[in-house]
Amino acid sequence: SHDCVAKVRRILQTKKVGHGGTLDPAAVGVLPIAIGKATRLLEYLPTGKAYRAIIRLGVQTTTDDLEGEVIYSEPVTDIAIEQIRHTLTEFIGDIVQTPPMYSAIQVNGQRLYKLARAGEVIEVPTRQVKIDRIDILNWTPGDFPEVEVQIACGGGTYIRSIARDLGTKLGTRGVLAFLERNASCGLQLADSITLEELEQQQQAGTFRPISPDRALSHLPSATLVDAELVKFWSQGKQLALAGIELTPTASQLDGYVKVMSADGCLGIGEMRSIDGIQLIVPQKVLI
């Protein structure tokens, strides 16, 4: 993920670039990238992810994917697809997961993968994650059978851990053989471009980033209808609701809203009731 950020910095000749969620080096797919002022909006993107994964049974590696050293390999011939379908239901909902030892999680200020490479053995802290759905796409039987799945989940979920734990629950071992993230932070694979395409578009002068408004489509809107309100917003002032057009979901609740004008997204505000008056309090001002 950091390599991708560095490449985008080089291509666009700008230092202010950030990403919206780590993607394993062996994986492909969606990596949300923000440039310029939009990097300040990354924390407000939705956290949901979606993956297409291939899990191979009968194999275990040090990294829980095919990048690591094989430490177990035994043919599996007595597992049926219906058994796998039933076992996968145990992963749905809020579950406790142990991330792979080779991961970017920090323990005592150190990345786990750096500790693993140094040969240190420590207890990996568990975490609660949410799995919304797992659908079986394909089943390839054999000595080392593979099941292809589509997974919808919350942020922080490790698909490698699902592969490992599925194998364990089936009485064997499991490893992640392929991973594609086809949705992340509300952005889809179909709307993505490759680094090569980015460079070509930049050279041709045709590159246009996704608008912040679209990336924040999950948030209700508060649209400032006159120039004076836009000026007050740019000065970081709290705004009363007079002269502001709210989407229906914004008018009746507390929480974050994307603040808009005719020229686009102006930042993030928070709806608050202060001394009985409903206000929009600036959180991120982009102008």
What backbone phi and psi angles, to 5 degrees, belong to 196?
A: -65, -45
Is the domain spanning 49-184 CATH 3.30.2350.10? The answer is yes
Per-residue model confidence as pLDDT tens digits over 147-184 = 999 999 998 899 999 999 999 999 999 999 999 999 99
pTM score, whole prediction: 0.88
Q: What confidence tier does 242 reach under pLDDT thresholds 50, 70, 90?
A: confident
- Decide the pairing of beta strands 70-73 and 49-57: unpaired
Burial class (CB in 10 A: 0-12, 13-18, 19+), 39: middle
pLDDT per position as a tens digit, 76-121: 989 999 999 999 999 999 999 988 876 666 666 666 666 656 666 6
- Nearest alpha-carbon partner for 56 in 181, 164, 134, 182: 164
Token representation of residue 4:
């991708």
- The string of DSSP letters for 3-72 reads HHHHHHHHHHT-S-EEESS---TT-EE---EEEGGGGGGGGGS---EEEEEEEEESEEESSSBTTS-EEE
The pLDDT-based confidence of 248 (bands split at 50, 70, 90) is: confident
- Indicate the burial class of 252 (C-beta count within 10 angstroms; 0-12, 13-18, 19 or more): exposed
Residue type, 192: S
Domain ranges in the chain are: 2-46+186-204, 49-184, 219-285
**Per the residue annotation, which of 24, 64, 65, 165 is the catalytic one?**
24
pLDDT of 186 strictly over 80:
yes
Where residue 9 falls among pLDDT bands split at 50, 70, 90? very high
Q: Which CATH number is 219-285's, of 2.60.40.10, 1.25.40.20, 2.30.130.10, 3.30.530.20?
A: 2.30.130.10
Residue 21, pLDDT > 90, answer no
Contact 121, 131 (CB under 8 A): no
Q: Hey, which residues does 53 pair with through a beta bridge?
A: 149, 179
24 catalytic residue (yes or no):
yes
Q: In the 8-state DSSP scheme, what is residue 91? A: G
Structure tokens at 85: 């379908």
